[in-house]
């Protein structure tokens, strides 16, 4: 292989589809792997793991050593961005992330000054990972989309429906626009720095885009992503940008058409056959196995993979999950998935 993932991400509608497709997996470096759990215990806190080039490199490489994925994705977290912007961020075991909820008056004080300096250990990890990876393995950088990062900054934690942030938007729309503007500018700087450090492509995770109505989706998800793509492409024209607007549903087509992304990540609720029909002439498709099929294994896993491969064949396509792998996933199910995908 010669960076087959990057080859597909950089391909155009006139190019032939590569088959079998390249494969990587969201959250592929994580708690389902025993070697990750060992390294996590050695690192101390979760943020210590994210900010240690040594440990971040190690956990990024673990799934490459074990499975030989076509892409390695930087091990970090979307919340290093608010941390770099001076907001207090912590991770409580068994609970998840905790932030001091931002109030409208604090948004004006947010500044990008010094933010990239704060993230230098992450950027060093990118360089170290690229140097250690096999030449044929594509290195993916990433960040959280402004809307998704903002939901944690407003609520101070993850919630099931992001109601605290939606209420905040209705009460303080002008201030929230300012927050999105800061996060958009920060995303451009951070992704560009990752590319300069060695990332071959980048993905923007908008994990909570699916809970917004049309007008708010356009203003807070689509438009910021359009600005991010333009900003990154102005500095790095040849670097592919993947957008993952989870749950975007009826908005996928407009999101693809207007943001300028090179590849769209699909969640498992969006039919691959429909994506091929509506989107594949414009972008590379990525996805979209339901992570619970990977947990279940057996017939459910085999049929889920077969259905996706059958629907995507002939399109520019990258096999992935429809969201991140979950901690309870058996390791041998991942091996079985890779074997089936690579058999075509």
Cis? peptide before 20, omega within 30° of 0: yes
Q: Is 37 a catalytic residue?
A: no
**Secondary element (H or E) of residue 321:** strand 317-321
Q: Which residue among the candidates 51, 70, 77, 255 is catalytic per the annotation?
A: 77
Does domain 4-343 fall under CATH 2.60.40.1120? My reply is no
pTM for the predicted model, two decimal places: 0.96
Q: What is the C-alpha to C-alpha distance for residues 344 and 342, in angstroms, rounded to an integer?
A: 5
Q: Which residue among the candidates 31, 157, 235, 342 is catalytic per the annotation?
A: 31
Q: Which residue among the candidates 36, 40, 87, 128 is catalytic per the annotation?
A: 40
Q: What is the crossing angle of helices 120-132 and 173-197, to 10°?
A: 40
Q: What is the C-alpha to C-alpha distance for residues 91 and 278, in angstroms, rounded to an integer?
A: 40
Q: Is 152 a catalytic residue?
A: yes
Tokens representing 325 are 């792998």
Residue recorded with tokens 């807070």: 220
Q: Is 290 a catalytic residue?
A: no
Instruction: Give the burial class of 326: count Cβ atoms within 10 A of its Cβ; 0-12 exposed, 13-18 middle, 19 or more buried.
Output: middle
Domain boundaries, the chain: 4-343
Q: What is the C-alpha to C-alpha distance for residues 205 and 81, in angstroms, rounded to an integer?
A: 13
Q: Is 157 a catalytic residue?
A: no
Q: What is the C-alpha to C-alpha distance for residues 4 and 11, in angstroms, rounded to an integer?
A: 10
Mean pLDDT split into 10-residue runs, the chain, 344 residues: 83 93 97 96 93 98 98 98 96 85 96 97 98 97 98 92 95 98 98 98 97 96 98 98 96 97 98 97 97 98 98 97 98 98 94
The answer to whether 202 and 191 have CB atoms below 8 angstroms apart is: yes
pLDDT the model gives residue 1:
42
Tokens representing 180 are 């999105």
Q: Which residue among the candidates 27, 130, 293, 316 is catalytic per the annotation?
A: 27
Q: What is the C-alpha to C-alpha distance for residues 153 and 82, in angstroms, rounded to an integer?
A: 7
Q: Which residue among the candidates 32, 36, 51, 152 is catalytic per the annotation?
A: 152
């Amino acid at each position: 292989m010669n960076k087959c993932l990057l080859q597909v991400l950089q391909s155009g509608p006139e190019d032939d589809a590569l088959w079998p497709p390249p494969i990587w997996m969201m959250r592929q470096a994580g708690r389902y792997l025993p070697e990750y759990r060992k390294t996590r215990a050695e690192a101390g806190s979760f943020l210590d793991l994210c900010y240690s080039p040594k440990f971040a490199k190690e956990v990024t490489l673990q799934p490459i050593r074990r499975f030989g994925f076509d892409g390695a994705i930087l091990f970090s977290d979307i919340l290093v961005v608010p941390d770099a912007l001076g907001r207090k961020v912590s991770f409580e075991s068994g609970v998840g992330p905790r932030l001091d909820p931002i109030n409208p008056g604090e948004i004006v004080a947010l500044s990008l000054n010094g933010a990239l300096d704060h993230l230098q250990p992450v950027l060093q990890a990118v360089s170290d990972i690229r140097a250690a990876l096999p030449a044929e393995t594509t290195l993916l950088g990433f960040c959280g989309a402004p809307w998704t990062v903002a939901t944690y900054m407003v609520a101070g934690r993850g919630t099931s429906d992001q109601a605290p942030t939606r209420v905040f938007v209705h009460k303080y729309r002008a201030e929230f626009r300012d927050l999105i503007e800061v996060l958009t500018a920060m995303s451009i700087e951070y992704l560009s720095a990752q590319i300069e450090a060695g990332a071959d492509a980048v993905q923007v995770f908008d994990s909570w885009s699916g809970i917004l109505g049309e007008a708010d989706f356009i203003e807070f998800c689509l438009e910021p992503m359009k600005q991010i793509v333009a900003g990154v492409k102005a500095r790095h024209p040849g670097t592919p940008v993947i957008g993952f607007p989870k749950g975007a549903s009826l908005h996928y087509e407009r999101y693809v058409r207007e943001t300028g992304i090179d590849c769209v990540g699909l969640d498992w609720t969006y039919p691959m056959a429909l994506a091929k029909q509506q989107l594949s002439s414009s972008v590379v498709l990525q996805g979209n196995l339901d992570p619970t099929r990977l947990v279940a294994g057996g017939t459910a896993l085999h049929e889920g993979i077969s259905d996706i491969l059958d629907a995507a064949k002939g399109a520019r396509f990258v096999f992935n999950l429809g969201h991140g792998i979950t901690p309870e996933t058996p390791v041998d199910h991942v091996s079985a998935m890779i074997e089936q995908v690579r058999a075509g």
